[in-house]
Structure 1
Amino acid sequence: MAEEDVLVERRGQVAWIRLNRPERFNAFDGPMARSVVRAIEDSVDSGVIVITGQGRGFCAGGYLATMDDPDPREVRAMYEGSLALLDAIRTSPRPVIAAVNGAAAGGGNELVIACDLAIASSKATFGQTGPRVGSAPVLGGTNIMPIQIGEKRAKELSFLCRRYTAAQALEMGLVNAVVEPEELESTVEEWAAELLALSPRYLEIAKISSNLWWNSARDSFRSGIGMLAQAIASHDMLEGARAFAEKRPPRFAPLFTSPEEN
């Protein structure tokens, strides 16, 4: 299978799914998210699934270029597509490994959170972008990431929108291993080989039973999407998108002003 925005390569029993929009650091819109879902579903006959990015980036999350003049239907489709993508990873019977070759930002960081295992290039970076670009990381950053790395650290990522190195991501437990860039794919293949030597039946049981916290967060995901949808075209969304496009700090207005300021 090969589509404009997603490439799939079979290497024996390992399915490599490559996000293929390098000009935008593999940021996804609704149709691209659905393409990745189809690729995951079509790879059910493999033993291991790997998700990685084409070019210098792993995934920059949701595509922001049209957010300064948003079509509510398209934005909602991106939100729903994002949840469908992360759900497809979690509900696939196969182990899914993130091969993080570059920046994992915003929804791309949440993509790493959703994967069962993550191996990163030493040049990869990680972090959430939500409040900086007029959004919030409600599909993993605010609800599942605290389970993985601890509540205080997860709030640091979700609130402050800082960038973290691969070494820092490893220390906090966001990834399983960090290797040199030229060793990334071979290391992922080694981990995949270990998985392929195990019982696929009992790996599936282990994986699906590990979804306890993910399943418990379903209400949080749905309410989060609902709140984001209600904020489409808000001042903060428009300003965040424009600032991102213009490569400048955003100028968000305070929620409350004193009478003297009115």
Structure 2
Amino acid sequence: MNLVSAVIKERICYVEMQNADHFNCLSEEMCQELIESLQYGYDQECVGIVIKAQCKKGVWSAGHDIRELPQDGNDPLAYDVPMEKLIRKVQETPIPVIACVDGTVWGGACDLCLSCDMIVSSSIATFAITPAKIGIPYNASGIMHFINQLGLNKAREMFFLATPIEAGDALNVGLINRVAEPDQLESVLEEHFLNPLRRNSVLSISAIKRQFRILSRASSVIPSESFERINAYRTRVYKGADYQEGINAFLEKRAPVYKGKASDLDTTK
């Protein structure tokens, strides 16, 4: 069964996640189908792509499929894992990608939304980035993405606390572009985002999107030594006992009992 559908209507490609029974987890299969759908929308010369989801129990996407996280000492968020490939695909697709959110967004799905060029959400939507709940060391590119979008303090709040922020708060800090009542979400999406896209020059927009991508990276150049330190910190986490405990607790549907100490990250040990 396909996990994603892609339908083109009036030069817009509507990409919908359809695995609501598993809360649209970003499994390897889901990520691959989303990547293919994004490419399809671009190949068909659409002027924009909308990512939507069939929701169950109010969940738009539960984020990374915890059952697929490596438990053999490998980096769970390495450059070539499916979710990272999907995030780069969204960022690099030469036409605007819009997330239309009408439920709760968790973990890597929050990063997926931020990777989109714009986000339209219902007033009941919430957003949470949750690696600290599972014991996952998020990667540097993802953290920089949140810092660039939200600012340092709000990014810290979201990562350290791992608690959902409501749509109004998300709008105030620039995480999303517009909030609508649930029954008006589709009309707001069409009127305020898709109709203007259809009227504008896709060639101009594509060039501007590429510039945004280049210029946003230009302000975040980090010395190679700093990346080596980051990798050392992250490796100690995903090879440690807390990482395994986080996965086990999720699978066993219980609260995790973490025993790690901040001093465990001392790379001089």
Q: TM-score range by the shorter chain?
A: 0.7 to 0.9
Whose relative contact order is higher, 1 or 2, with alpha carbons under 8 Å and at least 6 apart? 1
- Conserved 8 A contact 1:30-1:77: no
Amino acid at match of 1:175: I
Can you give the 5+ residue segments of structure 2 that lack an aligned partner in the other structure? Answer: 265-269
Alignment of 1:80-119 (within 5 A): 80-119=81-120
Identical-pair percentage: 27
Amino acid at match of 2:26: F
RMSD: 3.0
Greater shift, 41-50 or 16-25, is seen at 16-25
How many angstroms does 1:91 deviate by? 1.1
For the residues of structure 2 that align with 1:230 and 1:21, how far apart are their CA atoms?
A: 34
User: Partner residue of 1:213?
Assistant: 216
Amino acid at match of 1:89: V
How many angstroms does 1:65 deviate by? 2.9
How many angstroms does 1:59 deviate by? 1.8
- Conserved 8 A contact 1:144-1:217: no
How many angstroms does 1:71 deviate by? 6.3
**Structure 1 residues 39 and 222: CA distance shift in structure 2, 3 A:** farther
How many angstroms does 1:200 deviate by? 0.7
For the residues of structure 1 that align with 2:199 and 2:234, how far apart are their CA atoms?
A: 43
Alignment of 1:13-52 (within 5 A): 13-44=11-42, 45-52=45-52
User: Partner residue of 1:166?
Assistant: 167
- TM-score of the superposed pair, with normalisation by structure 1: 0.85
For the residues of structure 2 that align with 1:35 and 1:215, how far apart are their CA atoms?
A: 31
Alignment of 1:50-65 (within 5 A): 50-55=50-55, 56-65=58-67
Can you give the 5+ residue segments of structure 1 that lack an aligned partner in the other structure? Answer: 258-262
**Structure 1 residues 198 and 229: CA distance shift in structure 2, 3 A:** farther
Counterpart secondary structure, 1:17? strand
The CA deviation string for residues 14-57 of structure 1, in whole angstroms up to 9 with x for no partner, is 11111122122211122221111111011111111001111132
The CA deviation string for residues 92-141 of structure 1, in whole angstroms up to 9 with x for no partner, is 11111000111111101101110000001111110110011121332764
User: Partner residue of 2:184?
Assistant: 183
Greater shift, 235-244 or 134-143, is seen at 134-143
**Structure 1 residues 213 and 225: CA distance shift in structure 2, 3 A:** farther
How many angstroms does 1:72 deviate by? 6.8
Total equivalences in the alignment: 254
User: Partner residue of 1:240?
Assistant: 246
**Would you say 1:130 and 2:124 are equivalent positions?**
no
Counterpart secondary structure, 1:193? helix
Greater shift, 224-233 or 236-245, is seen at 224-233
User: Partner residue of 2:3?
Assistant: 5
Amino acid at match of 1:238: Q
**Would you say 1:145 and 2:146 are equivalent positions?**
yes
How many angstroms does 1:216 deviate by? 6.6
For the residues of structure 1 that align with 2:6 and 2:126, how far apart are their CA atoms?
A: 24
